[in-house]
Amino acid sequence: MNKNIKLYIDMDGCLAKWNTDASIEETFEPGYFAGLEPEESLIDAVKMLAQEYDVSILSAVYQDNHSAGDKISWLKKNGLGFLDTIFVPYGESKQKYINHDYTSILIDDYSKNLEEWVLTSNCYGIKFLNGINSTKGQWTGFMIPGKMNSQALYKTIRGIVSEIVAA
C-alpha cells in the first residue's frame, strides 16, 4: 500500500452513470441516487486500485435527509461499501474536505471540480470521459476514456499515478 498517495473518486458521472433523462426534481426524490446504474468497468478498476492505494469516495450531496444515505446504499450494493467516503455539500470545493498531507489525486467527470482541485500544490486531477461530458472544455490535464474495460482503466490510472509520483 502506497501511504503517501490518496486517490479520490467521484460518484455521479463516474462510478454511477449520469441519468440524462432525469429532471432536477427527480434527482431530489428519495432513492434516486441509490438506483443509479453502475459504471461496472470503473467500479472493478477502483476495487483493484484499492489493493495498492488508499482510495476514498469524494462526492457532492444535496443537504437533505436522504441523499447521503442513498449514496451509501448505492456504494454497498455495488461492492464499494468498504471505502472511506467523504460527502461534500453541493457547490462547495472538494478541496476543503481532504487531508492535505498527501499527494491527492481526484478522478472526476466535471472540469470545474478538477480545476479547483489542482489549484493546491500536491493535488492532481484525472478527468473521466463518460461519453456525456465535454472533451473540448478547459481541462487539459490527464483524461481517461470511460469506454475502456476494467483492466485497461486500472492500468491507465496506475500509469498516470506513477507519472505523477515520478514528476
Residues that bind Mg ion (CB under 5 A): 10, 12-13, 109-110
Which residue's Cβ lies closest to Mg ion?
A: 13
- Minimum distance between the CB of residue 88 and Mg ion, rounded to whole angstroms? 11
- Minimum distance between the CB of residue 59 and Mg ion, rounded to whole angstroms? 8
DSSP string, the chain: -EEEEEEEE-TBTTTB---TT--HHHHTSTTTGGGPPB-HHHHHHHHHHTTTEEEEEEEEE-SSSSHHHHHHHHHHHTT-TTSEEEEEETTS-GGGGS-TTSEEEEEES-HHHHHHHTTSTTEEEEEEE-SSS-SSSS--SEEEETTS-HHHHHHHHHHHHHHHHH-
- Minimum distance between the CB of residue 42 and Mg ion, rounded to whole angstroms? 12
Nearer to Mg ion, 110 or 142 (CB): 110
- Minimum distance between the CB of residue 1 and Mg ion, rounded to whole angstroms? 26
State the Cα–Cα distance between residues 66 and 151, nearest whole angstrom: 34
- Minimum distance between the CB of residue 109 and Mg ion, rounded to whole angstroms? 4
Please state the three-class secondary structure of 27-50 as a single string.
Answer: HCCCCCHHHCCECHHHHHHHHHHC
Nearer to Mg ion, 27 or 52 (CB): 27
Nearer to Mg ion, 51 or 85 (CB): 85
Nearer to Mg ion, 39 or 109 (CB): 109
Nearer to Mg ion, 26 or 163 (CB): 26
